[in-house]
Chains A and B, each alone.
Chain A
Amino acid sequence: MAELTLDGVTKVFTEDDGNEIVAVDEVSVDIQDGEFLVLVGPSGCGKSTTLRMVAGLESITSGEIRLAGNRINDKPPAERDIAMVFQSYALYPHMTVAENMSFGLEESTEMADDEISRIVDETTEMMGISDLRERKPADLSGGQQQRVALGRAIVRDPEAFLMDEPLSNLDAKLRATMRTELQRLQEELGVTTIYVTHDQTEAMTMGDRIAILDGGVLQQVGTPLECYHTPNNEFVAGFIGDPSMNFFEMDVDRNQLLGDLFEYPLTPAQQESVDEAREVTFGIRPEDIDIEVDGTVDSEFEFEVTVDVVEPRGDENTIHLTFDRDVDDPETFTATVSGLRQLQAGDAVVATFPPEAIHLFDVDSGAALHNRSLDVPEATEQLV
C-alpha cells in the first residue's frame, strides 16, 4: 500500500510511416495511499495506455511514475509489486483455480508451499470461491472467473491494484453486485487502486476520486460530486451524468442570452462570469428542469415546449422535449421527471430552467465560465 504518483506521463506511438500519435499527454495525478481512483473516459482516450504504463507493459515516452516515492519507470513489471486484473481475466487455462492463484507467489516470492497454500485458502474464502479451488477456468462462469482474477491479484498483497475494465464482460445485474463487492473489498484491504472504465456510472459510484481523460489529456481530477456539480469544462459536464447535460449555443447580449430556440436572462453574478465573451454554451442537467403539465409561462425562465418522446425507466421518466415539434427532425433536450408522472408524446408542457442550476461554458475552449450554485435554491435574484 503506497502513494502512486503520475508526473507528466506521456506516451507517443510512432507508426511505420513516421506518424506520431500522442496517446497520453502530460497526465499528472497524485494518488493517495489506499485511495480508489477511477480513470474514466470515452474509448480511445488513453486510459488503458496510462494503466499499462503504470504496470510496466508499455514504455513511458516522458514523465515519471513513482510508487511509494520511488521512480519505477525502468523497472520491469515483475519488480513493481503491482497486481493487475484484466478485462478478459487472463486466467491460465491449464491450471486449476488454486494453481492460478498460487502462480504469482511461486514466481515472485520465496514462500514455502504450505504458506502459499494457506494464503490461497484464505483468499478463496474471502472471495467466496472456496469450493471452486480444483476447477479449471473453462468450467467457471464469467462471474466466477472474475473472482478468481481478483483473488489472484489480492493474493500477491501488492503496493497497488490496477484494474482494466474488469466488470465489462459481466451482465448488468452481476456488474451491479460486483461493483459494491469490489468497493467493500478495496476498503477492507486498503490497497491503492487505479480502476479504468468507460462507464461513468461505475466511476461515480466506486471512486474516491475520478480522473477524466479525453484524447490523452486529463480533463479533471476530483471527487465524483465535484466533477458532477462543478465540471471544469464542457466535456466533463457532458460525460458525467446520465442522461447527459443539455447544451444550447447562445449569443451574449449584455444581461441576457439569445438563442435560436429561446432567450434567457442572466443574473449579475453570471454576467460577471461571462465577462467579454460574445457567445457561450448554455448547459442544464435534465433533473434540474421542472416540468408543469397545465402551467402558464410566469417568468422569463419558463418556456412552452412539447413532449416528443417519453422513455419510462420505472423510477424516473426521461422526457425528450422540443420547442417546435412540427419540424421534420426536431431538436430535442432532455428532462427527468418522477416515474409516477404520466406524460405522453404530443403533450404541451411548461419547462422551467432555474437560474441557480445553469452552467455556462466558453464556446472555443469549452472551459466552464459559470457552474451551478451548490446552495439550496432561494428566491431568484433581482434582475437588472
Chain B
Amino acid sequence: MSHETATPDDTTTRSLLGYPLRRIGLYLVLGAMAAFYLIPIETGLMTAITSPETYTGTHPYLPPLEPLIPGTGEFSLQPWGTAFEGLQSGLVNSLIMVIPATILSGLLGSMAAYGLTTISWRGQIGIYILFVAGIFIPYQAVLVPLTQFWYNVVPLRTLFEPIALTLPFVQEYHWKLVALTITHVAYGLPICTLLFRAHYKKLSDEMIEAARLDGASIYRIYRRIILPLSIPMFAVVFIYQFTQLWNDLLFALTIVQFGDAAVVTQELVGIGVSQSGTNFPLRMAAALLAALPTLLVYIVFGDKFAKGVAA
C-alpha cells in the first residue's frame, strides 16, 4: 500500500518571478541587515583610500574614482603611510602587552580549571564561585583603586628600573606595560577558567583515573594528558583574550595614561585630529590598521575557534 506524498500546492503560495514571496522577503531582510552592518566598514575603507585634500564634500561611501566620476575624491594610499607612522609605537606597545598577557591567561586559566574541575578537594566549589563572581566585576568600578594600586601602593616602577638598565631593548616606561599585562591577566582569568572548565568537564573521568592508576602525579597528569587535550580550547581562549586585550581602552588609559607606553587604542584616540580640522581618511586608515592584527589572528585560528566553541 503506498501513500501519496504531500506535494506543495503552487497555486496557493504567492510568488514573484517564480520564487516564493516568503523567500524573497527573507533574503531582503537578511540583505538589509548585512548592509546595515557592513556599510560603516565599507565607508571607512573607501574613505581611507581617498586623498585627504580631495576628501571634503564627497560621498563617503563611494569609492574615490576621480577624475572618472567627479565628486568622489582622488585615490590615494597616503593616509595608510601616515597612519602607520603615527601608530607605530602604539602597535609595538600593544604587541608587547597583548602577547604575554594572552599566553599567561591561557596557561593560568587552564591550570586553574584543572585544579577546580578534574581534581577533587574540599572547598573547591567556594573557590570556583569566587572565580565566577570575578567575571561580573565591572571594569569601571575598579579604575581608581587600580591607579592607586599601581602608582602608590606597589613600587613596580622602582623595582623595574634595574631591569630596564641591564637588559637591551627594555625601556623604563615599559613598567607601565608590565602593570597593564598583569592587570589584564588577572581580570581575564575568570572567563578563561570558565572556558577551560567547560572543556575539562567533558573529559572522561575514567581516563584520569586510569592515569592515576598508571602512577602519574597530579602535575604529570596535567602536563601529559590534560594540556595536550586542551589545544582546541587554547585556540578559543587565545582568540578571545587577544581581541579583548587588543581592543581595550579603559585599562590602558587608566594605567598607562598617555606617553611613551601608550598602546594602539590610545594612539587612535588622537590621531588625525588637529586644530586645522579632522583628517578623516587618516583616521579611517588608522582604525583599519589597528584592527588588522585581530583580523589576522581570527583568520589563522578561526577554524580552531569554531571547533572549540562547538565541541
Interface residues on B, range: 10 to 19
Q: Known interface pairs A88-B204, A103-B224. Does A55 touch B211 (Cβ–Cβ under 8 Å)?
A: no
Across-interface contacts of A143 in B (CB, < 8 A): none
Known: A90-B209, A104-B215. 20 other contacts (CB 8 A): A55-B213, A57-B209, A57-B212, A77-B209, A77-B213, A78-B214, A78-B217, A82-B213, A86-B209, A87-B206, A88-B204, A92-B210, A93-B207, A93-B229, A103-B216, A104-B213, A107-B216, A108-B215, A109-B215, A152-B214
CB of A91 closer than 8 Å to a CB of B: yes
Q: Does the CB pair B204–A107 fall under 8 Å?
A: no
Task: Tell me if A118 counts as interface (CB < 8 A to partner B).
Answer: no
Is the beta-carbon distance between B212 and A78 smaller than 8 angstroms? yes
A156 close to B (CB within 8 Å): yes
Q: List A contacts of B277 (CB < 8 A).
A: none
Q: A78-B217, A86-B206, A88-B206 are in contact. Are A94 and B228 (CB under 8 A)?
A: yes
Nearest-CB residue, chain B, relative to A162: B213
Q: Say if the beta carbon of B65 comes within 8 Å of chain A.
A: no
Number of A-B contacts (CB under 8 A): 66
Chain A residues closer than 8 Å to B229, beta-carbon distance: 93-94
Partner of A86, one of B210, B215, B220: B210
Q: Which residues of A contact B (CB under 8 A)?
A: 55-57, 76-80, 82-84, 86-88, 90-94, 103-104, 107-109, 152, 156
CB A48 to nearest CB in B, in angstroms, measures 11
Query: In the assembled complex, which residues on chain B have CB atoms less than 8 Å from the CB atom of A103?
Result: 211, 214, 216, 224
Chain B residue numbers with a CB within 8 Å of A94 are: 225, 228-229
A103-B224, A107-B220 are known contacts. Are A91 and B214 too (CB-CB below 8 A)? no
Chain A residues lying within 8 Å of B204, measured Cβ to Cβ, are: 88, 90
Residue ID in chain B nearest A86 by CB atoms? B206
**0/1 interface trace, chain B 184-223, chain A, CB 8 Å (1 if under):** 0000000000000000000010110111111111001000
Chain A nearest CB from B56 CB (Å) reads 60
Q: Write the chain A residue with the least CB distance to B209.
A: A57
> Are A78 and B213 in contact, CB atoms less than 8 angstroms apart?
yes
Contact of A92 among B207, B213, B217, B220 (CB under 8 A): B207
The distance in angstroms between the C-alpha atoms of A103 and B215, with both chains bound, is 9
Q: How far, in angstroms, from A103 to B216 measured CA to CA in the complex?
A: 9
Q: How far is the CA of A243 from the CA of B209 in the complex (A)?
A: 37
**Complex interface: chain B residues within 8 A of A77 (CB):** 209, 212-213
Chain B residue, CB-CB nearest to A155: B214
Q: Nearest chain B CB to A274's CB is how many angstroms away?
A: 49
Contacts of A76 in B (CB 8 A): 212
Measured CA separation A104–B212 after assembly (Å): 9
Contact with A along B223-238 (1 / 0, CB 8 A): 0110011000000000
Are A90 and B210 in touch, CB under 8 angstroms?
yes
B222 to chain A minimum Cβ distance, whole angstroms, is 13
Roughly how many angstroms separate A94 CA and B225 CA in the complex, as a whole number? Answer: 8
Q: How far is the CA of A310 from the CA of B213 in the complex (A)?
A: 49
Residues of B within 8 A of A83 (CB): 213
Residues of B within 8 A of A109 (CB): 215
B214 touches A108 (CB 8 A): yes
Known contacts A90-B204, A94-B229: does B210 contact A84 (CB below 8 Å)?
yes
Contact B206 A156 (CB under 8 A): no
A90 to B209, CA, bound (A): 8
**Least Cβ–Cβ distance between B221 and chain A, in angstroms:** 9
Whether A90 contacts B206 by the Cβ 8 Å rule is: yes
Alpha-carbon separation in the docked complex, A107 to B212 (Å): 10
1/0 per residue B249-268: CB within 8 Å of A? 00000000000000000000
Output the nearest chain A residue to B231 by Cβ-Cβ distance.
A94
By Cβ-Cβ distance, the 6 closest A-B pairs, closest first, are A108-B215, A104-B214, A90-B206, A90-B210, A107-B215, A78-B215
With a cutoff of 8 Å between Cβ atoms, the chain B residues found around residue A93 in the complex are 207, 229
Tell me the bound Cα distance from A86 to B229 in angstroms: 20
